[in-house]
Amino acid sequence: MSAHAGSTGAAPVAVHPPAGTGGRRVTVRGRILGLAHSDADVVEFLRVAGLPDADGLLDDPSWVMWSGGRAHHYEAA
pLDDT at 65: 97
Query: Considering the entire predicted model, what is its pTM?
Result: 0.86
Strands, E, within 1-51: which ranges? 13-18, 24-28, 31-36
Tell me the per-residue pLDDT of 2-46, one tens digit each, with 9 for 90 and over: 555 545 568 999 999 999 999 999 999 999 999 999 999 999 999
Judged against a pLDDT cut of 80, whether residue 77 lies above it is answered with no
pLDDT at 52: 83
Q: Are strands 24-28 and 31-36 parallel, antiparallel or unpaired?
A: antiparallel
pLDDT at 27: 97
CB neighbour list of residue 31: distance below 8 Å, 6 or more residues apart: none
**Residues β-bridged to residue 64:** 13
